[in-house]
A and B are shown apart, each in its own frame.
Chain A
Amino acid sequence: DAKTTQPTSMDCAEGRAANLPCNHSTISGNEYVYWYRQIHSQGPQYIIHGLKNNETNEMASLIITEDRKSSTLILPHATLRDTAVYYCIVRVLSNFGNEKLTFGTGTRLTIIP
């Protein structure tokens, strides 16, 4: 799986959009970009994933650059409950084989009241 680079930590004011960047310059054509988050003392939680098109769901938006070497996770209206460590992961979506997740160090996002 390709390696990702994320800032160690970020702050965001409550109610503002939180934009979390991720670099994955060695991503392969068949690798997807996944985002998970881990709220303190809980198991990681899936947020969103995408291949090359921008994606949006009820939790967040994912913007992937045209060359796919970087992406940004956007939490449109951050709340205090969004304080967590956010992990950007790239991996293939194979039919059988490699389905594992390789977690890096992630970005610790703190939402400021």
Chain B
Amino acid sequence: DAGVIQSPRHEVTEMGQEVTLRCKPISGHNSLFWYRQTMMRGLELLIYFNNNVPIDDSGMPEDRFSAKMPNASFSTLKIQPSEPRDSAVYFCASSFGRANNEQFFGPGTRLTVL
């Protein structure tokens, strides 16, 4: 398996633009997580899905952020409009709900908002 796939790997955009980050979880996994990492705040959970249903979105910073999981093999995290403080590395992770709940992380998307 190729592991969790994220695209793009790097994104540079200007303030006010819409940004869409994409994630393909590992096949067969039924939980998907979006995290954000910054120097100031560390690694923080934004939202997670179980069987394509959002379970906990309490970490989503504000209404400018939205996430969807239309099917078991694809998820998006959208920021509209983007702001410089959104600059961070965004990680997607997936896991098989039971088992040991090990989460497999993707390589991340480094977002820079100018």
**What residues of chain A have their CB less than 8 Å away from a CB belonging to chain B?**
36, 38, 41-46, 49, 87, 91, 93, 95-105
Contact = CB atoms under 8 A, between A and B. Distances in A.
A93 to B, nearest CB: 6
Interface of B: 4, 31, 33, 42-45, 48, 50, 55-56, 91, 93, 95, 97-98, 100-108
B45 A100 contact: yes
5 contacts: A46-B102, A46-B104, A99-B48, A99-B101, A103-B44
Q: Is the interface of B mostly helix, strand, loop or mixed?
A: strand
Contacts of A91: 101
A95 B98 contact: yes
Contact of A99 (B50, B104, B106): B50
A99 B56 CA distance: 10
Given A44-B43, A103-B43, A104-B42, A97 B107 contact: no
B101 A93 contact: yes
Nearest to B89: A41
A49 B98 CA distance: 14
